[in-house]
């Protein structure tokens, strides 16, 4: 009995000394007088914990894990959540940016046609006076703009005329004369006497200018994405042959150049953003019509209710990336002089524009849209309903390219619907429904720059311009 206990005791002491489980030693009992036990130091007995006192298990050693190696050419989110800060994982180098083009746009603010000098006669009839034309108008006539330098028809008999029948026109020829005076009749006021508005009237020559082009690109779909994005950008738009319908023979073609500088900054983990747009405008044509001005400042607030991170597979197809956002554009009348307004007094209100936008991904293609309603604070101005839809397809994709990383051709449909002032010769501003198409391509340059090149053509008339060319540069940060 004592010999058996001694064998078990030796086995337990040996197992604890060598860190082996006791069960592994049962199959090979070691004699108490063996060399192993003679060289092994006696185990120090551990104090037994008091009854009822819990013991704290030893903390496991910390696990050290290596970060997963991303697949080459796959865009992965740089942050968690639904934000849009994305990194391009390729050959271990991260790059930031977006792969979808912004909406190109079409709206130049050139859609307001103010007719040439329009006279409202005492009976309510309206007469349009084009450049170079003359018109004799009765007392009580009013105009849609200030009229200066016209002739006043006064009654000043030279010879007393008998009260007898005279040949037609004889009494008027002898009994009246036209006196040219440097006078001014303000917009809306009525003349006290008959007047003769001549082709030399300076106001009649500027009547073909578009209305409120000094606003600039205030429509939400002008170089904008439904997704909140960190970016700075500059846009250039060229509008050729502005208001060709109102241009009379002999009047030079009018062109408009527009540059817009903007910035957008995200917050709320990339689900919201605030942006600013500042346009510059130049109208080129005859020397007496050429003008330049700073446009109106637009502030844009955007929030994405759905904001899925976007990934791009090795073959260039998109994964995720769907977006649904809403927001508000506030355009304030901070622009310069009314160089582009053909109306007096000037119509230059604040414009409030709520909008909804979205992106839908399918394979290497996508679609995005904006719908908005622009409401001016002056009821003389026009309320617009804007609808824009873009289709794009990523034709080329090379995440390792040094210069052009992707090429995405696209096409856009734009429908601009005036909700009031409908009709070309509506006073004080005439508007027309315009449907137009935009085509172009976006080039992703480097890791964070995107160049948009495109052109737009209005398809319905009266056309606000013959053709628009555009170039946008967006740099993400």
Specify the pLDDT at position 382: 87
pLDDT-flagged residues of the chain (< 70):
1-98, 108-116, 130-133, 144-145, 149, 151, 153-183, 198-214, 245-251, 286-289, 337-346, 424-428
How far is it, in rounded angstroms, from Cα 133 to Cα 205? 10
Q: How far is CA 295 from CA 98, 416, 466, in A?
A: 29, 21, 22
Specify the pLDDT at position 287: 63
The fold of the 92-114+208-476 domain, in CATH, is Porin (2.40.160)
Distance of CA 164 to the CA centre of its chain: 74
Specify the pLDDT at position 5: 43
Tokens coding 148: 């200066």
One-letter-per-residue 3-state SS of 184-242? EECCCCECCCCEEECCCCHHHHCCCCEECHHHCCCCCCCCECCCCCCEEEEEEEEEECC
Domain ranges of the chain: 2-39, 92-114+208-476, 117-205
Specify the pLDDT at position 73: 37
Sign of CA dihedral 63, 309, 69, 446: negative
Specify the pLDDT at position 212: 56
Specify the pLDDT at position 173: 56
Distance from first CA to last CA of the chain, Å, rounded? 83
Q: Which residue has the tokens 């200066």?
A: 148
Stated pTM of the model: 0.66
Specify the pLDDT at position 202: 45
**Which H or E run includes 420?**
none
Specify the pLDDT at position 187: 73
- The 10 Å CB-count burial string (b at 16+, else e) for 436-445 is bebebbbbbb
């Amino acid at each position: 009995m004592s010999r058996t206990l001694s064998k078990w005791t030796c086995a337990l002491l040996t197992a604890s000394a060598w860190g082996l489980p006791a069960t592994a030693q049962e199959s090979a009992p070691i004699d108490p007088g063996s060399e192993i036990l003679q060289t092994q130091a006696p185990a120090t007995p551990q104090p037994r914990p008091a009854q009822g006192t819990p013991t704290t298990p030893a903390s496991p050693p910390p696990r050290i894990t290596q970060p997963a190696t991303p697949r080459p050419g796959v865009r992965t989110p740089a942050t968690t959540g639904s934000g849009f800060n994305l990194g391009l994982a390729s050959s271990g180098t991260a790059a930031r940016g977006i792969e979808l083009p912004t909406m190109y746009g079409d709206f130049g603010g050139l859609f307001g046609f103010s007719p040439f000098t329009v006279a409202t006669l005492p009976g309510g009839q309206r007469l349009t006076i084009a450049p170079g034309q003359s018109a004799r108008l009765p007392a009580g006539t009013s105009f849609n703009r200030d009229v200066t330098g016209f002739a006043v028809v006064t009654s000043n008999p030279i010879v007393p005329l008998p009260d007898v029948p005279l040949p037609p026109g004889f009494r008027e020829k002898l009994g009246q004369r036209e006196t040219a005076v440097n006078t001014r009749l303000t917009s809306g006021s009525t003349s006290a006497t008959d007047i003769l508005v001549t082709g030399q009237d300076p106001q009649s020559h500027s009547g073909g200018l578009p209305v409120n082009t000094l606003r600039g690109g205030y429509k939400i779909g002008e170089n904008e994405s439904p997704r909140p994005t960190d970016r700075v950008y500059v846009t250039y738009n060229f509008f050729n042959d502005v208001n060709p319908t109102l241009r009379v023979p002999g009047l030079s073609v009018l062109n408009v150049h527009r540059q817009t500088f903007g910035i957008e900054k995200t917050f709320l983990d990339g689900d919201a953003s605030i942006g600013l747009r500042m346009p510059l405008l130049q109208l080129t044509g005859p020397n007496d019509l050429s003008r330049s001005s700073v446009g109106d400042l637009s502030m844009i607030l955007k929030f994405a209710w759905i904001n899925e991170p976007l990934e791009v597979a090795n073959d260039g197809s998109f994964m995720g990336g769907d977006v649904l956002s809403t927001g508000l554009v506030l355009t304030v009348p901070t622009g310069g002089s009314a160089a582009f307004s053909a109306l007096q007094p000037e119509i230059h209100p604040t414009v409030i524009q709520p909008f909804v936008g979205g992106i839908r991904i399918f394979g290497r293609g996508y679609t995005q849209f904006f719908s908005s309603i622009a409401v001016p604070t002056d009821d003389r101005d026009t309320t617009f309903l804007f609808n824009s839809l873009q289709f794009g397809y990523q034709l080329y994709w090379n995440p390792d390219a040094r210069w052009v990383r992707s090429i995405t051709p696209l096409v856009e449909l734009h429908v601009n619907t005036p909700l009031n002032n409908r009709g070309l010769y509506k006073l004080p501003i005439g508007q027309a429904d315009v449907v137009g198409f935009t085509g172009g391509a976006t080039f992703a340059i480097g890791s964070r720059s995107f160049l948009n090149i495109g052109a737009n053509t209005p398809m319905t008339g009266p056309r606000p311009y013959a053709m628009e060319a555009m170039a946008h540069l967006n740099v993400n940060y």
